[in-house]
Structure 1
Amino acid sequence: MSNPYFCELYVDTNEDIRKVEAALNSAAADAFSGIFVELPIYKNDNFQETSINKVPYDFIECSRYYVELGTVEQVPDQLSDFQSGVAVLVKSLRERGWFVTASCDFEDAIADVTGWNWTEGNPEPPGRAIAV
């Protein structure tokens, strides 16, 4: 069942998980003013080092971490702010040079605000350099 108050974020970076968690918490503090969210970060068991240069980009295999981002309570008046906050958070993390892909019911809104989110028709993140 879909949940508009929830989004998985796949984070493709070589940074240590503690650094990613700190950046995530800092960006979330700015993105979700007045909205209580939970955002645990996990090592992605599906990460495959050999997939980093694979074409097309597979955000699940290329991401060392994933985040389960959701509101603590489902407050209808906060839904729009939550979803736009997710876009702000994704944009902030991407500004660090990380490839962040949102997997949720409102992926189109993420792409509209940030300029990209993975789709079958447009799988390559902007700025991705592929080693040959």
Structure 2
Amino acid sequence: MDHPLLNAFWMMLWFFLWIMWLFLLFKIVMDIFRSHDMGGWGKAGWLIFVILLPFLGVLVYLIARGGAMGERDMQEATRREKAMQEYIRETAGSGGGGGSNVDQLTKLADLKARGELTQEEFDRAKEKLLAG
């Protein structure tokens, strides 16, 4: 008997599995290039294996190196977060507010108050800070 609803279900299931496999394939290719513990020949070998024998290559890669994929993702996320925070600090410090100069002047004043800087050293550092 012909069951069009069941056929539609199977077609959607296979389409979903195909999309998931493509997503996994792209994730693995990105992981190959992101991996710092492999040399160029290792990366080329895995890439050729994954492209020439896609289903087998993806499964073998997941078995061999899948455990560390999450760690590499976390390292990349941490690196990006640090870069973003550094960019924000640099941008906010050099923006119109002059917050970094105020902070440095406060530090200089504290050093002078503790007696670690003489008045002459303080004045020179303050001039240099305000000029540049």
- TMscore range, shorter length: under 0.3
Q: TM-score, normalised by structure 2?
A: 0.24
The structure with the largest helix share of the pair is 2
Q: TM-score, normalised by structure 1?
A: 0.24
Higher relative contact order (CA 8 A, sep 6+): 1
Larger radius of gyration: 2
The structure with the largest strand share of the pair is 1
